[in-house]
Each structure stands twice: as structure tokens, then as C-alpha cells.
């Protein structure tokens, strides 16, 4: 059976994605989670590029990984400097990583126009860097930057750089589609050709600029690569890197390659959402395998078929990757959607039960008003439990007031004052915010935090407002959708009203109540 090793570069390449900035502790937590998942190599960063990455490696020396090996990243030595004297190379040795990944120029365009040196001098830089690191007892992987562009333009020289790295003692060579523009058919052909020339393990590192990073990584494995580089959720510069979530699932389930264990595969969705949370990035609902919509069914015909035979509309069992089937509740799904959702929540309902008809009529009425429960499953769960008298309130609102003040410094400040009754205790608190909804959110959390401390674990990750009847102008009814997440889950809630504050309050309360409900049942 073909052996494939997983190489994660979320902490280095993923951190270059727009909007992502990891603290040292963030990187430690992600590394520990990837270690549990069963990733073989975790690239922790570039010790010579910033103090944060060096600090990360120091921390990790006191927190050894159980399954994965930590890798440090750097480039070949600088022009005109011996590897033994190069600051970046010395920092690699200093950081304590047993494996380093060295990126070198493969494309003659870069050698001549960027480095402005001869082709032979570039080969000497590759050789000298690898020789020195090996002399220090370090294992070296070589990343052939822009390899597919290089191979297309100057095949002979591109191969020469690989052979130089191999002869210098590199244990593995990774072929990089750095610009992310190579088509899958070309990846297949080139990897197969290189496989005949190179004796050490080959790896693949793809970017997603043409939307092909996952496909290119899979085809490279089929052509002979035994190491796959990528990032969790495809985070990375420009359009991102190859997404390890679908890559792992495809290798394991579709190709039968035992890259991680069956038990670890079930953690895939959890890890995807965990890294999203730490990265402060919104969870992609439509992400293959781990997205909340990956196994969601809305149409009545689809729902009917999938319940008779799941293969009718699902390419795998969602439980394999730690996800689950979702039956979206809407006027299109009828009683079937409600009954299946009730079953999932272990609520006793039948098709003949008058409660089912009453609940369906309520859903249809609310959707006519503008509610959209397929996009707000958490709100529907709360609606169902309240309708069936299976819900006990966590708090009661006595009233709130919002004041918006424009100050002399031209700054607009919002303040919310809220009165609640929580576990028999009256709470009267106030909080400011960047806007009225943020102020209301802050005031609500402030009132509840002593009673429900786990609320500190969640945050709102998306907020959408849609006008439902544009012709009504400022009096139009609006729909507010809020996405919330914690380290384990993502959920969506909804509110509808002619008053945007009221619609937001409905969605906000549902979001908080759902968090408390799921924590209580955990």
C-alpha cells in the first residue's frame, strides 16, 4: 500500500493569509491539535524572520509533540555568504528543530532576475546550505520553489537543482507550484517524469490561485509523491494553499491510503473548526467534508431519497469525518424535515401527531413573515423545543434601552442598559459598544457572565442584515442572521422585525441560548 505523509504548514504559510495573525500561544495550541490529529510534520515557522517564531520553537522544546515532528523553515544561504556564517541558517540550528525545510530557487528567471547571480552560483548555495545543516545533525527537506514554472521554461536546469539537493543529502524534495497556476494534467505529467530522475521521497506543495490546489495535490500523490504539504482550511497568501481537510479525507476514503487512522479521521471536522476559531476566520459553510452545509438536504425529494438510502445524495457517510447530516427545515421539506430534525434531537414526534401539524403550520407562517430556518438551524432547534414544552429559560428579559450619542470629538458611542432576571436574581447592567447591537451584545454578556461563564468561549463571527420589502423603505421588515462559534461548533440564528434592533435582539438571544443549551447537554 502506498504510504503518504502529511505535512502541515498552517503556522507558516497559513499565517500569511490576509486577516490571520497568530500569537505564540495560538501556534502552540494549533500544533498540539494537529499532533493529536495525526499530522506527521508540522512546520512551525521561520525562526530567522521574526522573534515570535523563535519563541514558538523555544516553547515547543518544553512541550514535545507525541506523534508529529516539528519542522523549521528557511531559505538557502544569502548570496556571498557561507552557510556557516549566515544568520538565518544559524537561527535554524539554534531553534532546536530536528528537521528543517529549505526553500531554494529552481526557476532560472528568479536566479537571474531576482537574485542576479549565475545559475552555477545558485546550485552552490543549495549545496552549501544543505551540507552545513546536515553537518549539524539536522535532517533537511528541500522545497523547490516555482518548480512547475521552472520545469516548463528550463527543464534541464530545474532538474539540476533537484539533483544538487539530492546529492547534497536532502532526505526529501518538495515540488512547489508557488504561483498556483499549473493545471492538473501538467502536474500529473511532470511529477511522473521527475519521479524517474529523483531517488529520495517527493513531496507536493500547491497554491490555489487557479482553484486547483486540492486536485493537484491528489493527482501528485497518484503520480508518485509521498509527502503532501498544505494548510488547515486552505489558509494562505493570495488565494490560499492546498486545503488539508479535503486532501486527508480524499486520500483516506477515496484512495484507501492510510495517512491517518480511522479514529483520527473522525476529528477532521472538529480540527477544521478549531483552527478557524483560533485564526479568527469565519467557518466556511460550504467547505467540503467539514462545512456545516456539506451534508445538508433541503428539497423534499432529496430528503425522502437520502432517508431511504443515504448514497442517493451523499458521497460518503458524514460520520467518517466527524460531521453529520442536516435536514434543512423549510416550507419545501414538509413534515418529513420536521420529523427527521425531531428524531435527531431525540424528541418524540410522529407524522400523525397533532403537534407535528401545528409545528409545520408555525414554520410556514414564520417563513411567510421572512424567517429562513434552513439558514438558522439553531433558532429552529430552540423553536421546536419551546413549541413542544421541552425548553426551560436560562434568563428572562425585563427590558433594555439603547442610547446613541454623537460627542464633540465627532465619535459616535452606543450604550445599552439591560434588565434581566437570571436564576431568580435581577441583573441591571450597562455596556458600551461600537454600535447599538455590539453594545446590546456586551450588556447581555455582562449580565450573564457570572451565572454562565462558558459564554466567554463564544463570539459572533458573522452578522448579516437583509431588507425583505425594499418598497417599504425605512419601514421595511428586515431579517438578521447571526453566525456564532466557539472552539467546537458553529451555529446560526435568526430574527425578523420591522425594527432592526428587535430583529438583532431575537437572533442574539437565540445565539446565546443555543450556546447555553448545548453546554448544558454536553
Where do the domains of the chain lie?
A: 5-260, 396-521
The Cα 99–Cα 121 span in angstroms is: 25
- What pLDDT shows up at residue 374? 67
Average pLDDT (406-424) is: 88
Q: 73 — phi, psi (to 5°)?
A: -120, 145
Q: Which residues contact 34 (CB under 8 A, 6 or more apart)?
A: 8, 10, 42, 68, 232, 271
Q: What sign results for the dihedral spanned by CA atoms 492, 494, 499, 504?
A: negative
488 vs 190, more confident: 190
Distances (CA, A) of 373 to 323, 328, 361, 413, 459: 20, 7, 14, 33, 21
Cell 458553529 -> residue: 490
Residue 332: band (very low, low, confident or very high) from pLDDT cuts 50, 70, 90: very low
pLDDT above 70: percentage of residues in the chain? 93
- What pLDDT shows up at residue 474? 60
**Is the confidence at residue 233, as pLDDT, over 50?**
yes
Q: Which residues contact 141 (CB under 8 A, 6 or more apart)?
A: 71, 99, 100, 101, 102, 170, 171, 172, 173, 174, 203, 227
Average pLDDT (506-520) is: 91
Distance separating the N- and C-terminal Cα atoms of the chain: 40
302 vs 227, more confident: 227
Q: What sign results for the dihedral spanned by CA atoms 257, 259, 263, 268?
A: negative
**Is the confidence at residue 24, as pLDDT, over 60?**
yes
The Cα 277–Cα 459 span in angstroms is: 9
Name beta bridge partners: 406. 412
| Best mean pLDDT range from 94-98, 161-165, 402-406 | 161-165
Average pLDDT (302-312) is: 71
Residue 356: band (very low, low, confident or very high) from pLDDT cuts 50, 70, 90: confident
Q: Does residue 143 sit in helix, strand or coil? A: strand
**Is the confidence at residue 129, as pLDDT, over 80?**
yes
Q: Is 5-260 in CATH node 3.20.20.70?
A: yes
The fold of the 396-521 domain, in CATH, is Double Stranded RNA Binding Domain (3.30.160)
pLDDT in tens, 262-306: 999 999 999 998 898 788 787 888 999 998 888 877 666 666 676
Alpha helix locations (H) across 300-398? Answer: 300-308, 334-344, 354-369, 377-387
DSSP-derived secondary structure letter, 78: P
Give the CA dihedral 297, 300, 304, 306, nearest 10 degrees: -20
The Cα 79–Cα 117 span in angstroms is: 8
**Is the confidence at residue 344, as pLDDT, over 80?**
no
Task: Name the average pLDDT for the chain.
Answer: 89
Measured in whole angstroms, the distance separating CA 47 from the mean position of its chain's CA atoms is: 24
Helices (H) and strands (E) in the chain, counts: 18, 16
Residue 453, Cβ density class (10 Å: 0-12 exposed, 13-18 middle, ≥19 buried): exposed
89 vs 374, more confident: 89
358 vs 131, more confident: 131
Residue 471: band (very low, low, confident or very high) from pLDDT cuts 50, 70, 90: low
Cell 443515504 -> residue: 310
- What pLDDT shows up at residue 376? 81
Q: 417 — phi, psi (to 5°)?
A: -115, 130
Q: Which of 175-179, 227-231, 365-369, 500-504 has the lowest mean pLDDT?
A: 365-369
Average pLDDT (391-401) is: 91
**Is the confidence at residue 334, as pLDDT, over 60?**
no
- What pLDDT shows up at residue 194? 97
Residue 98: band (very low, low, confident or very high) from pLDDT cuts 50, 70, 90: very high
pLDDT above 90: percentage of residues in the chain? 62
Question: 383 is written with which cell numbers?
Answer: 423553536
**Is the confidence at residue 446, as pLDDT, over 90?**
yes
- What pLDDT shows up at residue 492? 86
Radius of gyration in angstroms for the set of CA atoms belonging to the chain, rounded to a whole number: 27
Q: What share of the chain is helix, strand, coil (3-state, %, to 5)?
A: 45, 20, 35
147 vs 377, more confident: 147
Strand order in the sheet with 412-422: 396-406, 412-422, 425-433
Question: 272 is written with which cell numbers?
Answer: 477544521
Amino acid at each position: 500500500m502506498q504510504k503518504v505523509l502529511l505535512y502541515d504548514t498552517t503556522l507558516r504559510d497559513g499565517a500569511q493569509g490576509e486577516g490571520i495573525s497568530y500569537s505564540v500561544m495560538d501556534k502552540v495550541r494549533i500544533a498540539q491539535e494537529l499532533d493529536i490529529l495525526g499530522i506527521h510534520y508540522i512546520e512551525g515557522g521561520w525562526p530567522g524572520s521574526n522573534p515570535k517564531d523563535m519563541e514558538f520553537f523555544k516553547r515547543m522544546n518544553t512541550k514535545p509533540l507525541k506523534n508529529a515532528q516539528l519542522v523549521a523553515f528557511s531559505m538557502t544561504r544569502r548570496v556571498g555568504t557561507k552557510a556557516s556564517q549566515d544568520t538565518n541558517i544559524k537561527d535554524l540550528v539554534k531553534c532546536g528543530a530536528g528537521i528543517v525545510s529549505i526553500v531554494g530557487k529552481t526557476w532560472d528567471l528568479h536566479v537571474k532576475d531576482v537574485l542576479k547571480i549565475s545559475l552555477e552560483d545558485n546550485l552552490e548555495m543549495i549545496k552549501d546550505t544543505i551540507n552545513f545543516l546536515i553537518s549539524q545533525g539536522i535532517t533537511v527537506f528541500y522545497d523547490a520553489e516555482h518548480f512547475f514554472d521552472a520545469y516548463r521554461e528550463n527543464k534541464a536546469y530545474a532538474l539540476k537543482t533537484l539533483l544538487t539537493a539530492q546529492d547534497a543529502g536532502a532526505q526529501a524534495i518538495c515540488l512547489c507550484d508557488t504561483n498556483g497556476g499549473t493545471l492538473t494534467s501538467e502536474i500529473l505529467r511532470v511529477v511522473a517524469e521527475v519521479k524517474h530522475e529523483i531517488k529520495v521521497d517527493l513531496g507536493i506543495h500547491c497554491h490555489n490561485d487557479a482553484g486547483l490546489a486540492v486536485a493537484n495535490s491528489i493527482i501528485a500523490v497518484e503520480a508518485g509523491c509521498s509527502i503532501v504539504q498544505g494548510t488547515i482550511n486552505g489558509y494562505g497568501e493570495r488565494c490560499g494553499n492546498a486545503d488539508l481537510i479535503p486532501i486527508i479525507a480524499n486520500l483516506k476514503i477515496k484512495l484507501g491510503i492510510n495517512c491517518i487512522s480511522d479514529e483520527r479521521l473522525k476529528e477532521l471536522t472538529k480540527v477544521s473548526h478549531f483552527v478557524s476559531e483560533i485564526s479568527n476566520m469565519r467557518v466556511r459553510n460550504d467547505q467540503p467534508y467539514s462545512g456545516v452545509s456539506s451534508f445538508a438536504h433541503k428539497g423534499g425529494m432529496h430528503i425522502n431519497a437520502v432517508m431511504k438510502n443515504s448514497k442517493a445524495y451523499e458521497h460518503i457517510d458524514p460520520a467518517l469525518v466527524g460531521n453529520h447530516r442536516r435536514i434543512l427545515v423549510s416550507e419545501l421539506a414538509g413534515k418529513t424535515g420536521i420529523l427527521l430534525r425531531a428524531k435527531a434531537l431525540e424528541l418524540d414526534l410522529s407524522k400523525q401527531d397533532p403537534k407535528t401539524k401545528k409545528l409545520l403550520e408555525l414554520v410556514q407562517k414564520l417563513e411567510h413573515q421572512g424567517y429562513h430556518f434552513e439558514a438558522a438551524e439553531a433558532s429552529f432547534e430552540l423553536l421546536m423545543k419551546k413549541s413542544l414544552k421541552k425548553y426551560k429559560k436560562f434568563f428572562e428579559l425585563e427590558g433594555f434601552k439603547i442610547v446613541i450619542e454623537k460627542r464633540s470629538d465627532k465619535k459616535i458611542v452606543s450604550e445599552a442598559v439591560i434588565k434581566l432576571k437570571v436564576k431568580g436574581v435581577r441583573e441591571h447592567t450597562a455596556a458600551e459598544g461600537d454600535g447599538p447591537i455590539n453594545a446590546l451584545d456586551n450588556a447581555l454578556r455582562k449580565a450573564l457572565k457570572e451565572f454562565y461563564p462558558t459564554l466567554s468561549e463564544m463570539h459572533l463571527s458573522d452578522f448579516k442584515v437583509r431588507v425583505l420589502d425594499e418598497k417599504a423603505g425605512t419601514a421595511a421588515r428586515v431579517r438578521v442572521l447571526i453566525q456564532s462559534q466557539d472552539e467546537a461548533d458553529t451555529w446560526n440564528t435568526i430574527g425578523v422585525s420591522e425594527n432592526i434592533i428587535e430583529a438583532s435582539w431575537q437572533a442574539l438571544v437565540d445565539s446565546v441560548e443555543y450556546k447555553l443549551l448545548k453546554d448544558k447537554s454536553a
